[in-house]
């Protein structure tokens, strides 16, 4: 039998290793990566039956099939189209058309309760649930919540396999996870990946702190479960980030503990009552933390308190930095709204705050109920740029400005050039109301305060921009 042939470089390396007595050791070493890769087959076998395919139908009003008044279009094309309609529909086309959509869900109880995404079943006139054993059921919509994208369905069956519920707080970034669903209608498809990040806040989704993964999620996966390696559901696959409409490696899941809290409210009354503080929030920058004397930037800065809201009737002040809510630490401003949203309206919440003139304090607030029009919206974030000098021109408020803005103090920012003012995020048209908690009444007074500001740490400006109040940290150079 001829000897196997290896590349010359490998023959030379093996000869060197043999000469050193190391070849045997190298030959028996197994690649560590191969031993660490998970086998998902047992997880799919044990828990795949808890996942269902959801198909929906909805009746939508047909768009006009003739040119709108005033739009003549192409006469010949219009006549041909009319002939086509008569051929297929007789003298008239149907007023409504049926549209279908696909999604996924999973059993959370053995008596037929199914958790899925609200966008999968919203506006559906018929919901059909298909199990892994090919049985089909008409499902009843118990309730849905658009803000969290959670919906609860019910089928009339018993002894169903229910999913085990896990704890998303125990998830670690880099941990393996598995999704099972029906992408493009392909039932019981399994895709795997890792947890990319936790606590993600998405635009217009202030009340959900998402789990980000790189698990392949496509149309039809929505509403399906995200499993950890113990076979526990830790999330509900909800959204993807994509520039093409298809999967691009960034997927988002609703934490299962959040989804189950929404489910309990939907079971109880078919709707969700969400907590509300009536504050506007912004991030704590490094300069802002330095201005407050904090060791590192963290927490949610209360930029403004809405008149008549729950916070306005409490001990909270604008300028407070919320560090804890009901004992839960707040690292970023986006951490606070989901916790407030899950608080029962009417309950009393305890907050740990950092207040500039007092240090650590606590405050209590009676949580209100969020209406569709209300909410805690992040204030506009300032743009940061390089600069060398202060570069700031201010003037006294005019009588018209005082009346329009309903202000009895402040100065108007007339111009911002390169320098610390632009670096802090000040813009022309801003109104500076306070410096380090002290009211500003005139341009002369503002310049005097700035001239005597302590060197080595930023000063905190309270600024009115449009209808919102924000805080900016301005470094005053010596």
Same domain, 316 and 400: no
pLDDT single digits (tens) 109-141: 999 999 999 999 988 889 999 999 999 999 999
User: What whole-number distance in Å separates Cα of residue 429 and Cα of residue 381?
Assistant: 16
The answer as to whether 23 is a domain residue is: no
Q: Is 149 a catalytic residue?
A: yes
> Are 264 and 279 contained in the same domain?
no
CATH number at residue 313: 2.30.42.10
Q: Which of 47, 55, 149, 314 is catalytic?
A: 149
Dihedral (Cα; 345, 152, 103, 372), 10-degree rounding: -30
Query: What residue has token string 């966008």?
Result: 119
Q: How far is 83 from 466, CA to CA, in rounded Å?
A: 56
**Total of domains in the chain:** 4
Task: DSSP letter for 378, please.
Answer: B
CB 218 within 8 A of CB 247: yes
Burial class from Cβ neighbours inside 10 Å (0-12, 13-18, 19+) for residue 426 reads: buried
Segment 139-157 shows an average pLDDT of: 94
Tell me whether residue 408 is in a domain.
Answer: yes
**Tokens describing residue 190:** 């399994």
Give the closest residue to 214 by CA, choosing from 243, 248, 242, 165: 248
Domain that holds residue 243: 164-269
Q: Which of 222, 251, 343, 412 is catalytic?
A: 222
Q: What CATH number should be reported for the domain holding residue 106?
A: 2.40.10.10
- Is residue 222 among the annotated active site residues? yes
- Give the model confidence (pLDDT) of 212-249 as tens digits: 999 999 989 999 999 999 999 999 999 888 766 677 88
Based on the fold, state whether residues 171 and 234 are members of the same structural domain: yes
Instruction: Please indicate, yes or no, if residue 320 is contained in any of the structural domains.
Output: yes
Predicted confidence (pLDDT) at residue 89 exceeds the cutoff of 70 = no
Give the tens place of pLDDT for each residue, 244-268: 667 788 999 999 999 999 999 999 8
Q: From the candidates 119, 396, 436, 442, which is the catalytic residue?
A: 119
- Decide which of 322, 354, 369 is a domain's last residue: 369
Q: Give me the count of residues in the chain.
A: 478
Question: How far from each other are the two terminal CA atoms of the chain, in whole angstroms?
Answer: 85
Which pLDDT does position 83 carry in this prediction?
A: 57
Do residues 149 and 210 share a domain? no
Asked whether residue 20 is domain-assigned, the answer is no
The pTM for the full model equals 0.67
Q: Kindly state whether residues 249 and 210 are assigned to the same domain.
A: yes
């Amino acid at each position: 039998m001829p000897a196997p042939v290896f590349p010359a470089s490998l023959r030379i390396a093996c000869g060197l290793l043999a000469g050193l007595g190391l070849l045997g050791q190298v030959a028996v070493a197994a690649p560590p990566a191969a031993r660490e890769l998970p086998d998902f087959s047992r997880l799919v076998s044990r828990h795949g039956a808890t996942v269902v395919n959801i198909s929906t139908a909805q009746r939508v009003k047909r768009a006009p099939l003739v040119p709108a008044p005033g739009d003549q279009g192409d006469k010949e094309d219009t006549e041909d189209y009319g002939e086509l309609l008569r051929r297929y529909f007789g003298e008239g086309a149907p007023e409504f058309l049926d549209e279908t959509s696909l999604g996924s869900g999973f059993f959370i109880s053995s008596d037929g309760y199914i958790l899925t995404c609200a966008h999968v079943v919203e506006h559906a006139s018929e919901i059909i649930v298909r199990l892994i054993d090919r049985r089909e059921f008409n499902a009843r919509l118990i309730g849905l919540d658009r803000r969290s994208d959670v919906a609860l369905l019910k089928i009339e069956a018993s002894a169903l396999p229910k999913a085990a519920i896990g704890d998303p707080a125990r998830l670690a970034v880099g941990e393996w996870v598995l999704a099972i669903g029906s992408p493009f209608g392909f039932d019981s498809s399994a895709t795997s990946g890792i947890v990319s990040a936790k606590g993600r806040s998405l635009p217009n989704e202030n009340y959900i702190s998402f789990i980000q993964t790189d698990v392949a999620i496509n149309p039809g996966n929505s509403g399906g479960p995200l499993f950890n390696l113990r076979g526990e559901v830790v999330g509900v696959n909800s959204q993807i980030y994509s520039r093409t409409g298809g999967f691009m490696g960034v997927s988002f899941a609703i934490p299962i503990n959040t989804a189950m809290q929404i489910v309990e409210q939907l079971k109880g009354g078919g709707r969700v009552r969400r907590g509300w503080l009536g504050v506007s929030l912004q991030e704590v920058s490094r300069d802002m933390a330095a201005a407050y004397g904090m060791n590192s930037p963290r927490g949610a800065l209360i930029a403004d308190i809405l008149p008549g809201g729950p916070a306005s009737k409490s001990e909270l002040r604008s300028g407070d930095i919320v560090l804890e809510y009901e004992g839960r630490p707040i690292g970023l401003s986006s951490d606070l709204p989901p916790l407030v949203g899950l608080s029962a309206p009417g309950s009393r919440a305890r907050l740990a705050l950092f207040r500039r003139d007092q240090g650590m304090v606590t405050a209590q607030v009676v949580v209100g109920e969020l209406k569709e029009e209300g909410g805690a919206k992040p204030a506009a974030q300032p743009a940061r740029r390089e600069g060398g000098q202060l570069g700031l021109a201010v003037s006294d408020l005019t009588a018209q400005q005082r009346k329009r803005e309903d202000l009895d103090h402040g100065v108007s920012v007339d111009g911002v050039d390169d320098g610390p003012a632009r670096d802090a995020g000040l813009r022309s048209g801003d109104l500076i109301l306070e410096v380090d908690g002290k009211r500003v009444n005139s341009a002369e007074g503002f310049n005097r305060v700035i001239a005597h500001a302590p060197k080595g740490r930023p000063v905190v400006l309270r600024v009115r921009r449009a209808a919102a109040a924000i805080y900016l940290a301005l470094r005053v150079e010596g």
